[in-house]
Chains A and B, each alone.
Chain A
Amino acid sequence: MLNVGKIEEGIVLDHIEAGKAMLIYHYLKLDRTEYPVAIIKNARSEAMTRKDILKVECDPDSLNLDVIAFMAPSVTVNVIKGGEIVEKRQLHLPEEITGVLKCHNPRCITSIEQELPHIFYLSDHTRQIYRCRYCEERYTAGVLEKRYR
């Protein structure tokens, strides 16, 4: 059994679907920070069989976690202070996502106008469906491919 030490202050992203930790790592731009990060892949999980975990030592409010709900709806966020879990943060699907996903529809205006922000709005809360603001192309929460900008 692999053991990774506790962090004093930061966040623990738990219950990440196995294989998605690096996508979230890149989305949070952790590669551009000097925060200590532990990436745990394929950890054993009773509920999920296998899961990924990310531990980040940082100011918990310094990261934009909103879009994680879209990328990996199963994720739970534990806020750590003084080495203890002080908050289990509930993530909600944001009404709008800008600058994270890239619309892959070749008929979309964003395919030729490079400077436009890629904007997606939540069109169906129940089915967790987002649509491109420009062309209505559909993206489902949790169905991840390499579409990130």
Chain B
Amino acid sequence: MRHLLSPLDFSVQELEDLFDLAADIEKNPGKYAHACDGLKIATLFYEPSTRTRLSFEAAMMNLGGKALGFASADSSSAAKGESVADTIRVISCFADIAAIRHSKEGAALVASRFSSIPVINAGDGGHEHPTQTLLDMMTIRTLKGRLDHFTIGICGDLKFGRTVHSLVNAMSRYEGVHFVFISPPELRVPDYITEMLDEKGLSYEEKISLDEAISGLDLLYMTRVQRERFFNEEDYVRLKNFYVLTPKLMSMAKEDMYVLHPLPRVNEISVEIDKDPRAAYFRQVQYGVYVRMALILTLLGIDVDSL
């Protein structure tokens, strides 16, 4: 039985196959409309979410399946003190696949060890968010036509930004990718990420100023400074407006430098950018549904052509 805890759980070839499947789903949605008839996904969201939970549920419904679950720890038995290990054992009796989001790092790994159904990590604290990475990569592949030979700027909260950690891990397997990490010193990318890049001999640089970096980028991945990751409100207030992407900054960027963002956006991207054809963040959301449909089919071992 396979789980998805990190994007590295899939080989580069398996990811290609997944993106090809997602692209086919986009073109021929009717072909997949009954692929999961009679099956259920459990969405176990201990942390609030709009996009990710609804995207998983929409993905399963688009495949003919159903969704059940909870949307906060308060409305689950976690409020009574039930462990993740016990919850997933119980949920395994109700559903065929589970997506779990939790504020603690490693929660999805724990769930996978006690589960008898495939588990998808839908975000574990500041650690990983692999399905966001899959949809980020699908977006890049669709817009740029490739996943290699880029300079990618990643800007904002690189310390607690789980989407960042997963994206760097995944993109580090492609040739010619150069990372530019743009963050305040307090929110630098964790050492285990830079160690991994050093070990693989991959090139990266760290900068504080977005103004200085933007003209050299082929892609810009903006992230939000996340209030929920700070133990100290004062630090959050000091750092929350460190970066704001404005039309003036965009005028310094390449004409084909797409802007991605995992959303939700707070104020790190000015709303005026939404009209810029290089703003790709709402398109990412649509790709997210296709990628999650492809992922559900893959983890459940369903091949529509053989049905």
Contact = CB atoms under 8 A, between A and B. Distances in A.
Interface centre among B105, B124, B192 (most CB of A within 10 A): B105
A87 B127 CA distance: 44
A105 B83 contact: no
Contacts of B260: none
A106 B107 CA distance: 13
A135 B106 contact: yes
A109 B102 contact: yes
B158 to A, nearest CB: 15
B192 A131 contact: yes
Interface residue range, chain B: 20 to 34
B107 A109 contact: yes
Contacts of A135: 104-106, 125, 127
Contact of B106 (A129, A132, A138): A132
Contacts of B105: 105, 107-109, 134-136
Interface residues of A, number: 21
Given A107-B104, A113-B84, A134 B192 contact: no
A134 B106 contact: yes
A88 B190 CA distance: 39
Given A105-B105, A107-B104, A138 B192 contact: yes
Contacts of A136: 105, 127, 190, 192
Interface in B80-131: 83-85, 102-107, 109-110, 124-127
B5 to A, nearest CB: 10
Given A131-B192, A135-B125, A111 B104 contact: yes
Contacts of A110: 106
A61 to B, nearest CB: 31
Given A107-B126, A135-B127, A136-B127, A123 B192 contact: yes
Interface in B154-201: 190-192, 195, 199
A115 interface: yes
Interface in A112-129: 112-113, 115-116, 123-124, 129
Nearest to B190: A136
A113 B192 contact: no
Contacts of B190: 136
Given A107-B104, A107-B126, A115 B83 contact: yes
A112 B125 CA distance: 13
A146 to B, nearest CB: 22
B24 to A, nearest CB: 35
B195 A109 contact: no
Interface centre among A111, A113, A124 (most CB of B within 10 A): A113
A116 B110 contact: yes
Interface string B181-224: 00000000011100100010000000000000000000000000
A81 interface: no
Contacts of A106: 231
Interface of A: 105-113, 115-116, 123-124, 129, 131-136, 138
Given A113-B83, A123-B192, 14 more contacts: A107-B104, A107-B105, A107-B126, A108-B104, A109-B107, A109-B110, A111-B104, A112-B104, A115-B83, A116-B85, A129-B195, A133-B106, A136-B127, A138-B191
Query: Which 3 residue pairs across A and B have the least CB separation, nearest first?
Result: A134-B106, A135-B105, A109-B104
25 contacts: A107-B103, A107-B105, A107-B125, A107-B126, A108-B104, A108-B105, A109-B84, A109-B102, A109-B106, A110-B106, A111-B104, A112-B104, A115-B83, A116-B85, A124-B199, A129-B195, A131-B192, A133-B106, A133-B109, A134-B109, A134-B110, A135-B106, A135-B127, A136-B190, A138-B192
